[in-house]
Amino acid sequence: MRGKESITARQGMVDLDNEGVHWQQDLSYGQYLDLDALLHCQRPRSAEHDEMLFIVIHQVSELWIKLCLHEAHAAAEHIRRDQLPPAFKMLSRVARIQEQLIKAWEVLVTMTPADYARFRGSLGQSSGFQSYQYRELEFLLGNKNARMVEAHRAHPEHYRHLSAILEAPSIYDISLQLLHRRGFALPAHCLERDWSQPYQACAEVEAAWSRVYHHTEQYWDLYELAEKLVDMEYNFQKWRFSHMKTVERIIGHKKGTGGTGGVSYLVKALDLTFFPELWAVRTSI
């Protein structure tokens, strides 16, 4: 037997005779993952080789964003309940997922401007600007803009869902409510407001976070929460920057297929911030 195994190994084969492999399965790997449906979703509209790359990168990114939303919504609920340890695990996972989203641009930039130009017309007016999952993630993090929902009015289910997220507290709003319950004096307009409006920085909130950062041993879990939120925004900004530079590298300063200014629009997004006091407080430490 030993000689047979060594011969098999030399031939580049793994001996499966004693491995108890289930050759017939009640539920196979492909069935569990619904691979037939998943792998039939890549349908290029042109004969150009690089369109498959473009489709796969964006579909994979949407799957990662789906998992981001799954984790971030659950983390927000744990923060609401003052259950911070499980929220920390989920927010750490979000940060790791964001790293994968950032890395995806490095694959896409292997496509040259000429490659993209050959099939860009196949996109019509479709654009990442219309990603309802991305919009939900922005709303959940606090970048509220009611006009953005209008891009989804033609899809009633998406429109209703995004409208509900727009009108609900963001993960930062929920974190500020927790600060208040922990004894930090925060103004009423930060705790109960029109959640569909963008959050405005507040001196009292910055003072509260400053107290947390200056007394980390006393408020360690709140300090860790603040840093998890900063991680999330930091990675989000890195993703935005990588997106902008990828677009600039491939199409220069052409208008986007969705009607935006392309690079000029993406540059504006870099100035947006989700958790302003968590950045401002660093100056005073």
Q: Which residues are annotated as a binding site for substrate?
A: 54-58, 116, 120, 257
Q: What would the two tokens of residue 19 be?
A: 């491995």
Residue among 244, 226, 260 at smallest CA distance from 102: 244
What is the C-alpha to C-alpha distance for residues 102 and 195, in angstroms, rounded to an integer? 29
**CA 35 – CA 25 distance, rounded (Å):** 16
Question: What does the H/E/C string look like for 7-62?
Answer: HHHHCCCCCCCCCCCCCCCCCCHHHHHCHHHHCCCCCCCCCCCCHHHHHHHHHHHH
Annotated binding site for heme: 243
Would you list which residues are annotated within the binding site? Answer: 54-58, 116, 120, 243, 257
Judged by DSSP in three states, 201 sits in coil
Question: In 10 A of CB 262, how many CB atoms?
Answer: 20
Q: How many CB atoms lie within 10 A of CB 243?
A: 21
